[in-house]
Amino acid sequence: MPKSALRPVRMACRLVLALAAVTGLVALFLTLIVLTDGAGSGLPAWLATLGTATAAALWWGRRRTRPGRLVPFLPVLLAAALTASVCIPTEPTARRYPPDLPFVATQHWNLATGSRVAVYHYPPANTGTPHPVPLVYLHGGPVRGISLPDHRFLRLLARRGYDVYAYEQAGGGRSDLLPMGQYTISRSVRDLAAFVDRLGKGKADILGFSAGAVVLTRALADPRVSTRLHRAIIAEPGPMDGPTARVTGHKGRPSARGLAPDVTGPRSTHVPRYAVAFGLMRLGLLTPDTGLIGQAEGANAFTAADLGSDTASSYCARDAHRIPVEDTARNFSFSAAASLRIQQTIKDSPSLAPRLRLSRTPAMLMIAECSSQIRQWATAALAHDPAIRRTQYMPGVGHHMWNGLDDNNRRAAAVVTAFLQDEPAPLPNYPTRRDIPGFLRDHK
């Protein structure tokens, strides 16, 4: 074969070797990030990778002429640039809180637990007799801000005469951060008890949604907290304990996940630093208190677009092309690390069933037709809490039942108010405990 024909082959081989070298160095860097848990914002892992690569390049070029000795350093420089982008913050490392909402004042309460939480109060409308028991809302997340559809639903309840309070759980929204090690499900339950005490109005009705429903379920199983609760509404709960978290099963009717248009807007996962940090945390290869990114920086970086598929999973498939805006960029707040930390403490907790069987607080369970939650998470609470008086299976809605579409808010409010006022339920009491086997068997 003539030399002119060999030249492109040699160039292609060199290019392949260079790309393999870059890939290997990036893989070494990521391995060191995992082994060091991202210590020092990843700088020790970067220096170790650079030192190893430099030594290898010197050895590889030791017998070459002076210009040829520089060639092995080209993959080193490229790999160094790629990996350095993981070590350099592009978001503020101090917490950047969302601005106040224009339609409700943000208060900050110091709880007896040490948490400082953002509080929103919707007083009852001046029509008719107000309900004497305050209603407290526990949002989902767990460590995120209260969404705009939630705020609209709370205003609707206030117009129906309820004295509505909501607070963003510690670390979420406009609430102050906690040290990462203090984010636990038991701390969330203690914060609920401390919040009701801080209200100073005696017992409170509690509406817990999604992760907030988990906090509420565990509060019902704790006699030190349940004495503060008047009535409880468990809406679309996540897993309440370790055994429930390990359950496999089916979800509700098809959701809009995979059908809805992609959420527009910037994504933290398009930035190498945060793509690596959040990706490795999600895989369990980095701890939530990793040294790669701080808690505040991570919360600043995470955007509403990063939750695009999760948002779509909260709506029915039929609503895929009309999903409302869950949040503006100015209101959105989510701490992935703190949320993972709380979820891990749930997975590590023993069975709640023995204590939940002693619950005496009147409760109601709400289940969505197109729920993205595993059905056994809800039926476990129903099976073990003897004080659940009624279940309301909500047709035509997904996980986020009060979403502003059609008359969904009105229907959800009717279910909530009927239970709180001990009036007949607007929907059949279904599933009951006896219905659980058939409910699960029929994949409803």
Give 315-344 as a DSSP string. SBGGGTT-PPP---TTT--B-HHHHHHHHH
| pLDDT at residue 309, as a whole number | 77
How far apart, in whole angstroms, are the C-alpha atoms of residue 122 and residue 112?
23
Run of H or E including 157: helix 148-159
Predicted local confidence at residue 122, as pLDDT: 97
Strands (E), 89-169: 107-110, 116-122, 135-138, 164-168
| Tens-place pLDDT, residues 405-443 | 999 999 999 999 999 999 999 999 999 999 999 999 888
Paired sense of beta strands 107-110 and 116-122, if any: antiparallel
| pLDDT tens figures, 160-193 | 999 999 999 999 999 999 999 999 999 999 999 9
Taken in order 304, 140, 145, 157, the sign of the CA dihedral is: positive
Q: CA 166 to CA 427: how far, in whole Å?
A: 26
User: pTM higher than 0.85 for the full model?
Assistant: yes
Give dist(CA 374, CA 236) in Å, integer: 10
**Which residues, listed in sequence order, are joined to residue 121 by a DSSP beta bridge?**
165
Instruction: State the chain's mean pLDDT as an integer.
Output: 91
Residue 57's pLDDT is what?
72
Spatial neighbors of 163 by CB under 8 A, at least 6 apart, are 122, 123, 124, 130, 131, 133, 134, 135
- Rounded to 5°, the CA angle 256-439-220 comes to 90
Exposure of 230 in the CB half-sphere (CA atoms within 13 A)? 18
pLDDT of residue 125: 87
Task: Name 181's bridge partners.
Answer: none
Would you say residue 2 has pLDDT above 60? no
Query: Would you say residue 4 has pLDDT above 70?
Result: no
- Band the pLDDT of 72: cuts 50, 70, 90: low
Q: Which of 131-140, 244-253, 306-315 has the lowest mean pLDDT?
A: 306-315
Taken in order of first residue, the domains within the chain and their CATH numbers are 3-87 (no CATH), 107-441 (3.40.50.1820)
User: For the chain, what percent of residues have pLDDT higher than 70?
Assistant: 92
296 and 94 Cβ atoms separated by less than 8 Å: yes
Confidence of residue 241 (pLDDT cuts 50, 70, 90): very high
Q: Among 17-21, 182-186, 214-218, 255-259, whose mean pLDDT is lowest?
A: 17-21
| CA 69/CA 85 separation, integer angstroms | 26
Q: Quick one: pLDDT at residue 20?
A: 76
